[in-house]
Amino acid sequence: MSDENNFDIVVIGAGPGGYVCALRAAQLGMKVACIDKRGAPGGTCLNVGCIPSKALLHASEVYAEAAHAADMGINFGTVKLDLEKMMAYKAQGITGNTDGVRYLLKKNNVEEIKGAAKLSAPGAIEVVLLAGGTRQLSAKHIVIATGSEVTPLPGIETDEERIVSSTGALSFDKVPKHLAVIGAGIIGLELGSVWKRLGAEVTVIEFLDRITPGMDVDMAKNFQRVLKKQGIKFMLGKKVTAAKALKNSVKLSLAPASGEGEEESLTADRALVAIGRRPHTEGLGLEAVGVALDGAGRVETDAHFKTNIDGIYAIGDVIAGPMLAHKAEDEGVALAEHLAGKPAQVNYDVIPSVVYTAPEVAWVGRTEEELKEAGIEYNMGKFPFTANGRAKVNGTTDGFVKILADAKSDKVLGVHILGAQAGDMIAEAAVAMEFSASAEDIARTCHAHPTLTEAVKEAALDVDKRALHM
């Protein structure tokens, strides 16, 4: 095999985990190739996930704010929506980000290969090139970073017209009169909130008796209350048994999740299936090479991301853990550094999660339910944004900050924020927890006034029941 086809590391997948792993490996002096069948780097996140959804979340928030700007003495007249232009704005953001990743790969001498990769043997990869033909590669180390795909709802077929996945819900050509969202997780609530702000009636259907599984229950209840106040309707404890796409509508058949009670139907313009994501491992030749998968279809790895086959590794959504872009990025860096002989690890106890609705919800560390289950005694501090000066003057008083600290040591075990800019504020909590800070440490740290982050300090003070502004 020619030298141009021999690499130290070949990364399969150019999503956040894959391209970051490739970049860091190249920085450390290794010869690296990064393969992706999409043709544009960035994976689901940059192309049909986090980035386009955030573009629409931001644009729809601006639209909603503009409609109420008169309350602040700013008159635009009648605010009009140009959905085509909004979608062009979204597309521009995607292109800007993917072009940026491509530039970084080139700058760091990572060879970007556009095509579908398949393992033919340990250390050997066959690539069916998008431009035509095939290419045979060899590598000392192969990294599986192929991410995840939409989990289908059994018996319901998405056509990306009437019954859509998150991909289709990012590209509607007009605002639905009524959007049914199947699944009250992060993706469903984010996209549901986009179309609600743009004028749709939104009904969220959830199998469980609560929204956002995994979120602290107290936060989830208050989050649902805020969304209901915004006009989003919820049907909890319901399962969708059938969905029929008609010419101008979708008819959903619903049944109680408990199995007891009468069935009912719901008609909407469009239905979004958002019940989660699953690892994308098909077509990679993993079975033929002998790479082990767990019961959930994820690639099994050790503490250093190595599979059961020497020279083959996996990171990101294809392995256990939260399916988050930043988790995948940290794993990509850790793996590259490990393969370069450097000490590296990922602290899975301090990985923040964010729901990018308005207001946002963000958390890091443990929930109250997890602490109770583990038998850990804790103290709780809580501070509402209604008592924060900046939130009051901004008109963003929904929500609160909650801090959970060990009852004996005062070490911060979890921080949960419902409120404007929660996704940015959670970084303070993550840094504090990474350094094993106590609630007292946060409480004694001077926070600028007037800022929303003062609510974090006040919640830390409230752990010791000495909040100043409540």
Are 467 and 381 a contacting pair, CB within 8 Å?
yes
In which residue ranges of the chain is CATH 3.50.50.60 found?
Answer: 3-149+278-339, 163-275
| Ranges in the chain annotated CATH 3.30.390.30 | 353-463
Evaluated on CA atoms 463, 466, 468, 470, the torsion sign reads: positive
Give tens-digit pLDDT for 399-435. 999 999 999 999 999 999 999 999 999 999 999 999 9
As a whole number, mean pLDDT of residues 193-203 equals: 98
Residue 2 pLDDT level (bands cut at 50, 70, 90): low
Query: Tens digit of pLDDT for each residue in 308-356?
Result: 999 999 999 999 999 999 999 999 999 999 999 999 999 999 999 999 9
The answer, yes or no, to whether residue 1 has pLDDT greater than 60, is no
Q: Give CA angle at 183 (179, 187), nearest 5°.
A: 85
Give 153-183 pLDDT, tens digit per residue. 998 999 999 999 999 999 999 999 999 999 9
Q: What is the mean pLDDT of residues 40-64?
A: 96
- Contact present, 346 and 368 (Cβ < 8 Å): no
In tens, the pLDDT along 65-74 reads 998 899 999 9
Domain 163-275's class? alpha beta
Two tokens, residue 104: 């970084």
pLDDT for the residue 76:
87
- Other beta carbons within 10 angstroms of residue 51's beta carbon come to 19
Q: Which two tokens stand for residue 105?
A: 């790969």
237-267: pLDDT as tens digits: 999 999 999 999 999 999 999 988 899 999 9
- How high is the pLDDT of residue 11? 98
Percent over 70 (pLDDT), the chain: 100
Per the DSSP assignment, residues forming a β-bridge with 48 are none
Query: What are the catalytic residues?
Result: 449
The pTM (predicted TM-score) of the whole model is 0.97
Task: Please answer whether residues 420 and 226 qualify as being in contact, where contact means their C-beta atoms are separated by less than 8 angstroms.
Answer: no
CATH architecture type of domain 3-149+278-339: 3-Layer(bba) Sandwich (3.50)
Please identify, in words, the CATH class of the domain defined by 353-463: alpha beta
